[in-house]
Structure 1
Amino acid sequence: MIHIGGPYYEKPLFVDRHWLRDACECSMCVDPDSGQKNFGTCDVPTELPIEGLPKIEDGVLEVIWENDFLSSGNHVSRYPLTILQKDILQPLPVKTLWDKAIFERDRLNIDYGEWMAGEEGFLSGLHRLHTHGMLFLRNVPSSEECVISIANQIGNLQETFYGRTWDVRSKPNAENIAYTSSFLGLHQDLLYMKDTPRIQILHCLENTCEGGDSLFSDGQRAVNLIRIGPAQSQYHLSSIPLRYHYTKHGHCYQIDRSILQKERERFFWSPPFQTSRGGSFHGKNGSTRYRRWLKAATKFRQFLEDDQWVYQYKLQPGECVIFDNLRVVHGRRKFDAATGSRWLKGAYISNDVFKSKCTALNPQLRALGGGNELTPTQQASRFDEEYNIWEKEDSTKS
């Protein structure tokens, strides 16, 4: 281990020698043109003698490796402390869990021009997309191509069988309930695909119909409320998979997923695309397992759909909502297609692309501050205290 202390970090930093040698980015270790490593991690010997003591000058850690495996002599590696800080000590800002009141207070509206400039406005938007999972753009030009340019500020679009972009508008014999005027309950998109899109972008081009308000709710808040409750609720929601599917118009997608996942923040919820097929509730004690799961799932739905949790807003032409499809569930009130027109243009961005952008801009995002001071569990406990959630549950049993 190599110890870095003194005035450089608030807490002493201990770095494994093997990890540090593997992390060298000099021109001998990393090809300057392709950015690819010239050796594998397993090529680095387990024994790594160092000449003298590591030293720090002008914010750079210098280590001299004796009899280096790559250079066959001494090898000098230099590591900017800002890079070590980014890699080891600097996670992204803590997320803010929200209910309707918090989102109404914190809602961020960014001008389209500021987003497209890619500077302070874009960074503020990306920061809010990470911390709250959703933001709005205003003054977006009335062009079908704008959703592409908006997405490209983050990265490449994720194309699906719906196309590179797609239209949300009412039509007969619709292949998706979103393309009707009916009520659409809270859900996540494309859970029947292994690579579920991470970011969804909806640009409002027309919306003169009566009704059609958009609905949003913070799924990570619901997850954390479940996790501070009875252990059996977590067990049933994490151990029993549901099957999500889309089997129309020559397509056949399906995948089994439980509502809660091992990753504490991850969840899956999309009732419109859920099928009762599959063997999760068959066999001995199947009915008992199903009833217990149903009770826990109903509680989870309440944590998504009760009025205090749902942010409702009718998108206006020239507005665009950008949200995290793996965090924020969305839906829509029914609307009367005879009273006007409703047209949203949509696009997706993959999880890998979004994570790449956030990681690349991590120092700038952290510099904006604004991360929640409480952990998600502590935030959920605050909601529990405010709304007496689990206390009400206990009182119904007594």
Structure 2
Amino acid sequence: MTTLTVHDDGKYLAIQTQGKSTRFHAIWLRDNAWDSETRATGNGQRLLALRDIPADTSIASAGIDGEVVTLTFAPEDKSVDYPLSWLMDNAYDTESNTGAGWTGAAVQTWDSGLMADVPVGDYAKVSADDRALASWLDNVARYGFGKLENGPTTDLSLMQVVDLFGYVRETNYGRHFEVRTEVNPTNLAFTGLGLQAHTDNPYRDPVPSLQVLYCLESSAAGGENMVVDGFRAAERLRAENQEWFDVLSQHCARFEYAGEEGVVLRSRRPMIELSPDGEMIGIRFNNRSLAAVTDVPFDKMDTYYAAYRRLGEIIDDPDMEVTFRLEPGECFVVDNTRVLHARKAYSGTGTRWLQGCYADKDGLLSKLAGLQATTLEAAE
């Protein structure tokens, strides 16, 4: 049974259900009304600014009929219906997450144990079946990366992958970039050396939040791709030494790229980025692009470098890595704000040709939410 009580002269509502009381302020409820005078019917955007709602708004009466809560607000004398489920889904009178570095329920951190269950989708299936696409995108969002198999091997096939969920983000590298490697090359520019795990473009603000790497040719031995969950690495650092976690999250590093004429890119962000309430929202780690660190006080610089070194050791730990080989027609999408990627070294003879591009995570999350909403509507 659900009951409603109004408190503090109508300043807030308490909903008692399943043995728990959840409170909502009157001004919050009025601002979040979904009637046609407050919200546009087509897109749900607000038609009113907060200044249009009386500052002394209060709840004059409250009632419930089944799953519908009806409130009347003073001084407007306006009645609004709310689905009980919507109110409970959007409740803010909850226990807050404590401590810096927490992650949301939709994020699952991982280590090398994920090797047995790498999130994989079939290109043909995700291209033709919205449910398969939603499942694959959900895994990319949850784990920070996902692999696609059985795709075409034609030039710029990676653009078709991006079309599944969003749009290419063009940079000074163009709409896409080529990754061509020859083993035992005549030109050292085409090296088969391995690369340390890193996030791309930390010198941009904002960074490209997704990267797509698509394999068109792979005849060389070795060269496996590797991914490391930066969030799990930060969690390990915090468990080992809270002071080290704090110094990397509370002080900015500086990153810089000036490798082309007319291009000077700079950013100033922490290696471990937290939201104001302590949620872990980003990792920037790229030793090649780290500029001089100047935003750490003198008496904390030794601690900062000890923390930076240890975070790198954790990232390099084989127990943290998931590796897989990309064959022609295969690709992977990686959350560049969270998951570090690398490449193992090559041996023997052969060539390797990949194409890469950047996109943004908001497009992927929007596509996923739309697919999930459509699936839910169909189920109802």
How big is the shift at 1:180? 4.7
Output the amino acid matched with 1:99.
D
Which of 240, 248, 267 aligns to 1:237? It is 248
- The answer to whether structure 1 residue 254 and structure 2 residue 266 are counterparts is yes
- Determine the structure 2 residue equivalent to 1:381: none
Which of 28, 32, 45 aligns to 1:23? It is 32
- The answer to whether structure 1 residue 267 and structure 2 residue 287 are counterparts is no
The answer to whether the Cα contact below 8 Å between 1:50 and 1:65 also exists between their aligned partners in 2 is yes
- Determine the structure 2 residue equivalent to 1:279: 294
Distance 2:65 2:370 in 1: 25
Quick check: 216-225 or 121-130, which moved more?
A: 121-130
Change (3 A) 1:297 1:61: same
Distance 2:334 2:87 in 1: 31
Distance 1:86 1:360 in 2: 18
Distance 2:360 2:371 in 1: 17
- Determine the structure 2 residue equivalent to 1:62: 70
The answer to whether the Cα contact below 8 Å between 2:256 and 2:265 also exists between their aligned partners in 1 is yes
Which of 344, 362, 377 aligns to 1:333? It is 344
Distance 1:110 1:311 in 2: 17
How big is the shift at 1:267? 2.4
Distance 2:367 2:20 in 1: 28
The answer to whether the Cα contact below 8 Å between 1:61 and 1:80 also exists between their aligned partners in 2 is yes
Q: Which structure shows the bigger proportion of residues in helix conformation?
A: 1
Change (3 A) 1:339 1:279: same
TM-score (normalizing by structure 1): 0.76
How big is the shift at 1:317? 1.0
Equivalent pairs, count:
347
TM-score (normalizing by structure 2): 0.80
Quick check: 213-222 or 120-129, which moved more?
A: 120-129
Distance 1:92 1:83 in 2: 19
Within 5 Å, which residues of 2 pair with 1:192-231? 192-231=203-242
Distance 1:34 1:6 in 2: 31
Change (3 A) 1:305 1:56: farther
Distance 1:163 1:87 in 2: 41
Distance 1:255 1:94 in 2: 28
Which of 87, 90, 94 aligns to 1:87? It is 90
Distance 1:104 1:215 in 2: 10
| Cα distance per residue 1:316-372 (max 9 Å; x no partner) | 112121221111100112336x83331222222224334444555677899xxxxxx
The answer to whether the Cα contact below 8 Å between 2:61 and 2:73 also exists between their aligned partners in 1 is no
Output the amino acid matched with 1:268.
R
**5+ long unaligned stretches in structure 1:** 69-73, 172-176, 367-398
- Determine the structure 1 residue equivalent to 2:3: none
Distance 2:69 2:189 in 1: 55
- Determine the structure 2 residue equivalent to 1:387: none
How big is the shift at 1:82? 3.9
Output the amino acid matched with 1:279.
T
Which of 127, 152, 159 aligns to 1:141? It is 152
Distance 1:122 1:13 in 2: 36
- The answer to whether structure 1 residue 43 and structure 2 residue 55 are counterparts is no
Within 5 Å, which residues of 2 pair with 1:1-398? 1-6=12-17, 11-33=20-42, 35-57=44-66, 59-68=67-76, 74-88=77-91, 93-100=105-112, 102-117=113-128, 119-170=130-181, 180-249=191-260, 250-263=262-275, 264-265=279-280, 266-275=282-291, 277=292, 279-280=294-295, 286=298, 289-335=300-346, 339-357=349-367
| Cα distance per residue 1:146-166 (max 9 Å; x no partner) | 322322332233222222233
The answer to whether the Cα contact below 8 Å between 2:134 and 2:372 also exists between their aligned partners in 1 is no
Distance 1:80 1:164 in 2: 45
Change (3 A) 1:25 1:292: same
The answer to whether the Cα contact below 8 Å between 2:139 and 2:145 also exists between their aligned partners in 1 is yes
**5+ long unaligned stretches in structure 2:** 1-11, 95-102, 183-187
How big is the shift at 1:223? 0.5
How big is the shift at 1:117? 3.2
Output the amino acid matched with 1:321.
F
How big is the shift at 1:301? 1.1
Q: Which structure shows the bigger proportion of residues in strand conformation?
A: 2
Output the amino acid matched with 2:72.
I
Output the amino acid matched with 1:84.
L
The answer to whether the Cα contact below 8 Å between 2:14 and 2:21 also exists between their aligned partners in 1 is yes
Output the amino acid matched with 1:346.
G
SS at match of 1:331: strand
CA RMSD in angstroms comes to 3.2
Distance 1:215 1:136 in 2: 12
Output the amino acid matched with 2:23.
F
The answer to whether the Cα contact below 8 Å between 1:219 and 1:327 also exists between their aligned partners in 2 is yes
The answer to whether the Cα contact below 8 Å between 2:200 and 2:336 also exists between their aligned partners in 1 is yes
Distance 2:36 2:349 in 1: 65
The answer to whether the Cα contact below 8 Å between 1:128 and 1:135 also exists between their aligned partners in 2 is yes
How big is the shift at 1:12? 3.6
Change (3 A) 1:237 1:179: farther
SS at match of 1:233: helix
Output the amino acid matched with 2:108.
T
